[in-house]
Structure 1
Amino acid sequence: MRQLPKQLQGLRIPVVASPLFIISNPDLVIAQCKAGIVGSFPALNAREAAGEPIMLEAWLKRITEELDRHNQSNPDFPAAPFAVNQIVHRSNARLERDIEICHKWKVPIWITSLGARVEVNEAAHDCGGISLHDIINNRFARKAIEKGADGLIAVAAGAGGHAGAQSPLALISEIREWFNGPVLLSGAISTGRSILAAQAMGADLAYIGSPFIATEEANADQAYKQMIVESGAEDIVYSSLFTGVHGNYLKPSIIRAGMDPDNLETADASSMNFGEGRSKPKSWKEIWGAGQGIGAVKDVVPARALVDRLAQEYDAAKAEMREIVNG
């Protein structure tokens, strides 16, 4: 058995909720952690206008203090730790500032995306945290570990947001040939059975995003949430047009924006921009991302109810597999 870092032990189910750009906020993160899974948000979601107090400070203060109060009141059922996602891209002018703030607040889990940087991993370790880096292939996985990441998030085919194109079976197998540390798997995981399947493939935990879009706490348009509920895997389009990096998007939102989802242009990574002055065509404002696992999402529910469902399904799947293995 692999020994996981303490931040990833003792969870109700082996799940990290992925950081959803714009959508993840303190309400959602706190609800996820209180329900027993790791909640997370991108640092760039915490935005303030010029001259206003730094929003990331306010978010970290609220999350830290509220989870501390919960743990004091519920010593037998403590909350899971939380994670902050740092987008390590040259257009992110806030990166150094946000690293300092997360170090100050001793963020327990750091998730890095779009670039592996030694100094980010060092900052995480210096404040007692761990770093997990998301990757889409084995080559990027090796680079991340060489630069000091503690674990990997394998973003396989079918994942929401910026997703890879490799089968999870192939990606996890290649990583496990040389890496025995923490591995999380992302890609169409939206049921308890698929969480168990991720572990059977060799991952330690599942990394789940799209189902949490359709929760009451999520900072998403109600029409977006309803589109998640009404859509399935066949409604997902894989395209690089909208950010310059391939990702999965809801076909109905593309059609509603006046575009043909079967004939989209391509874009390269040079068009990606996380700076304050970024802009995109007005017609793209409501192009919404989602992964292929959304067929399991039937209603908009509180985050706690979603975690309850996943936990019940996970326990049932384990019991079923025991019967199969034992004949």
Structure 2
Amino acid sequence: MSGDSHLPKALQGLRIPAVASPLFIISVPALVIAQCKAGIIGSFPALNAREGEGDHPLLDTWLTQIREELDRHNQENPDRPAAPFAVNQIVHRSNTRLERDIELCHKHKVPVWITSLGARKEVNDAAHDCGGIALHDIINNFFAKKAIEKGADGLIAVAAGAGGHAGPQSPLALISEIREWFDGPLLLSGSIGTGASLLAAQAMGADLGYIGSPFIATEEANAVQGYKDMIVDSGADDIVYSSLFTGVWGNYLKGSVENAGMDPDNLPMGSVKDMDFGGDKEKPKAWKTIWGSGQGIGAVKEVGPVSQLVDRLEREYIAAWERLQDRMK
């Protein structure tokens, strides 16, 4: 990708300007490795790596696996090296594993750190100390400024339509307000399911797109077949925005809510007090199959390998750029 020399090295030279967002449960080493080999930054939540009591930390095992596989790929393919990978840290106070996971990511010199649900200076410092960069996801301009004050290198603007925990603001408004004062790395999350929407994100001021839901319907994703099929069969009208399931507003597939015996059009409100990332709090049984998704899944027509999805995004991105150039002649 040209025109990215202003970005930190970890965000330069990608095949297309895209970072695969960390998906709860779904993002595992196989998915991350495939994303990186395809030329975009792959990521996973540290909390996805959960080991049994007394077992060796699974996060350590995963990081070793990812690094070794990407190193092997780069040695065998010097002309098309893999993109870097990222690890998402939930910095909410209920995450009792945070300190341990920070130490493991520092040990493995993770190149890109993504923080969510709170800006913490010590996490950014740890990323910088091992040569990494820190990106923080935010839903409004207020939190964006707080993140940069705490030492984040870049921002992920989570706008309306994004999968999982999503903000209510239009991406046009959110990106515009942030760009009034911040000229550093800026990613946009929210319904980016095509190469054309990736180009649109850049046109409005973002450097890269943050893509999640389309990767659920890939062969490498750790999702049940029913979840993948529902992504393929659904569109923007099939998404419900609710705070019930985690205490934070997010987007979910209506079909999964209905399958759990609830009315997606009449869900009660959740409370931020319900947020818990400690791992020892079980969700109500009916909520275990509530599936998150963003509004951009109308572009997903089939389940296939990650490489095929990235191929499509690249074709669409180039075609959109060519159309735009033709209109500007």
TM-score bracket, shorter-length normalisation:
over 0.9
Distance in 2 between the 1:191 and 1:300 partners?
A: 15
Is the partner of 1:260 in helix, strand or coil? coil
Amino acid at match of 2:296: G
Q: Does residue 267 of structure 2 align to residue 264 of structure 1?
A: yes
Kindly state the Cα deviation for residue 276 of structure 1 after the two structures are TM-superposed. 2.0
Kindly state the Cα deviation for residue 146 of structure 1 after the two structures are TM-superposed. 0.3
Instruction: State which of 51, 56, 78 in structure 1 corresponds to 2:54.
Output: 51
Match in the other structure for 1:153: 156
Q: Deviations over 1:82-130 (max 9, x none)?
A: 0000000111000000000000000000000000000000000000000
Match in the other structure for 2:221: 218
Match in the other structure for 1:111: 114
Equivalences for residues 7-18 of structure 1 within 5 A:
7-18=10-21
Structure 1: gaps spanning 5 or more residues:
none
Is the partner of 1:165 in helix, strand or coil? coil
Instruction: State which of 292, 313, 320 in structure 2 corresponds to 1:317.
Output: 320
Distance in 2 between the 1:51 and 1:304 partners?
A: 37
Match in the other structure for 1:38: 41
Q: Does residue 296 of structure 2 align to residue 293 of structure 1?
A: yes
Instruction: State which of 61, 76, 79 in structure 2 corresponds to 1:76.
Output: 79
Match in the other structure for 2:191: 188
Match in the other structure for 1:201: 204
Instruction: State which of 147, 162, 165 in structure 2 corresponds to 1:162.
Output: 165
- Identity percentage of aligned residues: 75
Distance in 2 between the 1:150 and 1:268 partners?
A: 31
Kindly state the Cα deviation for residue 52 of structure 1 after the two structures are TM-superposed. 1.2
Is the partner of 2:273 in helix, strand or coil? helix
Distance in 1 between the 2:288 and 2:62 partners?
A: 25
Amino acid at match of 2:182: F
Distance in 1 between the 2:49 and 2:278 partners?
A: 14
Match in the other structure for 2:89: 86
Distance in 1 between the 2:303 and 2:116 partners?
A: 28
Distance in 2 between the 1:71 and 1:325 partners?
A: 39
Is the partner of 2:240 in helix, strand or coil? strand
Kindly state the Cα deviation for residue 277 of structure 1 after the two structures are TM-superposed. 1.0
Instruction: State which of 246, 258, 266 in structure 2 corresponds to 1:255.
Output: 258
Equivalences for residues 172-183 of structure 1 within 5 A:
172-183=175-186
Distance in 2 between the 1:236 and 1:49 partners?
A: 34
Kindly state the Cα deviation for residue 231 of structure 1 after the two structures are TM-superposed. 0.4
Distance in 1 between the 2:141 and 2:108 partners?
A: 32
Is the partner of 1:67 in helix, strand or coil? helix
Kindly state the Cα deviation for residue 268 of structure 1 after the two structures are TM-superposed. 1.4
Match in the other structure for 1:229: 232
Amino acid at match of 2:253: L
Match in the other structure for 1:283: 286
Distance in 2 between the 1:253 and 1:83 partners?
A: 29
Kindly state the Cα deviation for residue 323 of structure 1 after the two structures are TM-superposed. 0.7
Q: Deviations over 1:298-317 (max 9, x none)?
A: 00010111001000110111
Distance in 2 between the 1:51 and 1:269 partners?
A: 31
Is the partner of 2:69 in helix, strand or coil? helix
Distance in 1 between the 2:56 and 2:307 partners?
A: 31
TM-score normalised by the chain length of structure 2: 0.98
Instruction: State which of 137, 141, 148 in structure 2 corresponds to 1:138.
Output: 141
Structure 2: gaps spanning 5 or more residues:
none
Instruction: State which of 104, 129, 132 in structure 1 corresponds to 2:132.
Output: 129
| Runs of at least 4 residues off by over 2 Å | none
Is the partner of 1:62 in helix, strand or coil? helix
Is the partner of 2:27 in helix, strand or coil? coil
Q: Deviations over 1:16-57 (max 9, x none)?
A: 000001100000000000000000000000110011111000
After superposing the two structures, state which structure 1 stretch, 153-162 or 271-280, moved more. 271-280
Match in the other structure for 1:305: 308
Q: Deviations over 1:176-235 (max 9, x none)?
A: 000000000000000000000000000000000000000000000110000000000000
Distance in 1 between the 2:182 and 2:275 partners?
A: 30
Is the partner of 2:267 in helix, strand or coil? coil
Count of aligned positions: 326
Distance in 1 between the 2:185 and 2:94 partners?
A: 29
Amino acid at match of 1:238: Y
